[in-house]
A and B are shown apart, each in its own frame.
Chain A
Amino acid sequence: MSNTPGYHGSYLRIDLSAGTMTNVPLAAETLRNFLGGVGLGTYLLLAEGVAEHDALAAEAPLIYVFSPLVGSPLTTSAKFAVVSKSPLTERINDSLASSAFAIAGKKCGCDAIVVVGRAAAPSVAVIEDDQLRIEPAGDVWGLSSRATEDALRERLGGDYQIASIGPAGERQVHYATISHDGRHAGRGGSGAVMGAKQLKAIAVRGTRRVAWHDSKALIALSKDLSQRSFGPATAKYRELGTASNLLTFNRLGTLPTRNFQQATFEHAAAISPEQLTATREKTRASCAACTIGCEHIYAFGGSGASSDGLLQKDAGVRLEYENLFALGSLCGVSDPDQVLAASRRCDELGLDTISAGGTIAFAAECVERGLLDVPWLVFGDGDAVLRALDEIVAGTPLGQQLALGSRRLAEQIGHDAIDFAPQVKGLEIPGYEPRTLQTMALGFAVGTRGADHNRSSAYEVDFSEAVDRRDVQPHEARLAVDIENRAALLDSLVLCKFLRRALEDFYGEAAEMLQAVTGWDITAAELEATAARIVAAKKLFNIRAGWRPEEDTLPRRFLEQPLPDDEQTTLGAERLAQLVTAYNSARGWTSEGWIEPVQQASLGLSEL
């Protein structure tokens, strides 16, 4: 039992090859330095000492991490991080999901679950408190995550929470997700890492609760935060969902279209949530322990079913901006039914929609340019997108190529394909056009998990008065550092990023929450330093995994080719390089981005 309230003070380490589980203590200092979620997961990943191993090797760890706030009454705190090396990028991957899995996992008496090794056959790891048993998963192999959860609950009992992979994870598609209760730890292919371990699912049930340092203060803070979460700062998410970005981004020339060949989509209105809401029913839902409820689920009667019957015909479709852009405008698809069908299919198969859409859109451009001989794969054809998704998971020759993501597909195709593969470090670029959102472009370039908007959050700077988003200058790189640090803190506490505007004094309020939970006499300044440490720790992992400075850039398309309806706007290789240098300097790293031993020491990372 930990001396630190809010924590158990240990993690469970499962070796699937040996079928064993051990309870490993965590030092109080480690908890304070890395908090939980992404921060603690990065520490544990580094501590395993296998950064150079292949992401899908048996030795590669897959880490589920909870946080001090999990189980507390603080709104949106039921989150867990999944941290591993990414098969797409061969760099760190930290993805987050919100669900009751976080609460049940922590009640097993641990702050994290580290999984190494590989099971001899498809398996389910069943953890009840600190006891492990490995059960066969042959009967659920091939099922969607949802069907797997249902089948295993029937087998194990209803009160287990189950995180699992779908068919994409089993096939080790490099952008497969891990899912629980319809929420995905989505980006970077953690589902493939789980599949490589022959681990179909992890089921958790426990009885162990942590103490809170000051329950009265925690309840007061929670009530206040919940109250604010009903206010204007989150109205967009509650009432419209993230999909409402679509028309705004289209108007601002930041909506990636046809593999980033354009940044406006002439059919945006047809696939907009405004149009979808006018023509079909919509319901709202929320993650566990969330008072915001940003999930908007659209009724969908179209079949979209694959021949193996994976899909339920009457299920609604949860629609986020990223699905809408990646499977809509990015692939040039204007039929809302086809976008909904593709979105649902990704959900059931366990595919990251951004990487799936990005890779398919890239392939479509390769077909257009005569670099790939797949005549049916053309922009604007929603049936082609559905077929491509099925081929990815069926493992056809084309599907096997697409399953590797756009960077590896470009390397196989050769010619100049890598110049327009929509990725950074191998991770497909999300729905934020880098040429017209240049702080975001910097965030993509330096991002430790590749092109990722959530870990960077730099789009927030671009959508503000702070910069001219079409002409961001090196002295403004500091803003990308500040916003990335805040994101790192949110991802380590863990709280939902959609709450951030409800926090008036970001670091101060986070410190108050941690004080109430843990009893630490922690300050806003300490938390700022902690956030910077966590970002640096992620970079340290990448350095150990073989990172080189030349990775911190964007594909040539974004540096050399202006957008057709915004020809004045350019980013250019030279200015991006200046921005990256300024970012590195602002972090106190070398201008190329290395972390010197002295800097490592000052960040409190020496022991790693």
Chain B
Amino acid sequence: MLETIGLARSFGALSVLRDVTLTIAAGERRAVIGPNGAGKTTFFNLLSGEVPPSGGRIRFAGQDVTTKGVAARARMGLARSFQRNSLFADLGVGANLAVAVIEAERQGWSLWRPLNRRADIEGKVAAIAAQIGLADRLEQPVTALSYGAQRQLEVGLALAGRPKLLLLDEPTAGMSPDETQAMERLIAALPRSVTVVIIEHDMDVVFGLADRVTVLDAGTVLAEGTPAEIRASAEVRARYLGGAP
């Protein structure tokens, strides 16, 4: 589904990612962990096309997408959530989701029939809203939502397009324990037709969801393996999981 070969990115003299080579199978749940500043978000930015790589290649869904733009990759079925919420702040919750559905359904050039007579779009919005637990808040302005609920909407925008590949950048960051559990259940319930890559600091979430874990450290892949292998790895423990138990 996704393959990176020798992926690299520097900002000026600062080399943020170096030689990241990995393969993620269709339907896999992959967690990417690593300390702050390891380059995880930059890795996502390269995958989604927001930041061009300084070297290496990216293959997605059987195509080399290294030089493709953000929108083109999105239309191929790559969706992401952002580490810092990126919502449409002056639209309501339902309208936020409607934008995502409209783009996913290629209805952005539908110019005449009013949206409130588009039962097809409304139905899909309602379904996503139910999935992310915001079904009864469609009419509310985004600014009326708690931070945790905004985080759910952030993930909802990425889900709305029924993507092939879903990149989630710290979806539970700043959430209460209850909200975190709800988010974990939501991700666990996604069909295996979606490949999920998740950047996450909460190790319970990581070990609960992931088939495989990649550890990024200082811009390189420090380790990769099943959750059990990563938990057992002395090196990862020393560098990241906080020493021996």
> Do the two shown chains form a genuine complex with each other?
no
**Chain B contacts to A: CB under 8 angstroms:** none
**Chain A contacts to B: CB under 8 angstroms:** none
